[in-house]
Amino acid sequence: MKNNFTTFRPEIKDVKIKKLDYETVYLDEFKGNADKEKYQLAIYDTNHILIDILKDRKSSTIREFLLCHKDSIKKVGMDMFMQFRNTVYSCLPHADIVADKYHVIRQANWIIRDVRIRLFNSDAKYREYKKYWKL
C-alpha cells in the first residue's frame, strides 16, 4: 500500500539567519529530551515571544548564541544558576543581568521557611507540644 502523505523539507542552504535585534532577552531552562540532553534552554523577548530553543544548557552552547548577538543584547533576565551567570558575564560584560522574579521569590520563601523551622526547633516548649501532634 502506497503512502499518500508527503513531507515538505526546505533547503537549509537557502535559509538566511536573521540577525537578532532585541535589547532584552530572557533565558529559561526546561526539561526536554532533544539530542539525549535532559534540559534545553528557551530564549524569549520582552513580549514572551520565543526567539530560540538551544539544544542544551551547556556553557559552550549558550556562549555560541550570545556571541552571535552580543552587539544587540543589553539586558538578560534569568535564574541565577551559576553556569548561566558566569557565561553571560564572560560573553556580555556590558549587559545588565536581572534575576527573574520567580526564583527571587522562591529563594526568599526558602529562607523564611528555614528561619521559622530553626526558631521553632530551638524552643523547648515547642518540642514538648510537638510530640502530641498527629497528622
Domain containing residue 106: 101-130
61 lies in the same domain as 118 = no
pLDDT per position as a tens digit, 56-83: 889 999 999 999 988 899 999 998 889 9
pTM value surpassing 0.85: no
Does residue 50 sit within a domain?
yes
70 lies in the same domain as 113 = no
Task: Sort 65 into a burial class: Cβ within 10 Å, 0-12 / 13-18 / 19+.
Answer: buried
What's the pLDDT at 134? Answer: 66
pLDDT beyond 80 at 34: no
59 lies in the same domain as 76 = yes
pLDDT > 90: what percent of the chain?
47
28 lies in the same domain as 91 = yes
81 lies in the same domain as 30 = yes
> Distance between terminal CA atoms of the chain?
63
pLDDT beyond 60 at 98: yes
* 1-5, 45-49, 76-80, 91-95: least confidently modelled range: 1-5
What's the pLDDT at 33? Answer: 80
Does residue 36 sit within a domain?
yes
pLDDT beyond 90 at 115: yes
What's the pLDDT at 127? Answer: 74
pLDDT beyond 80 at 51: yes
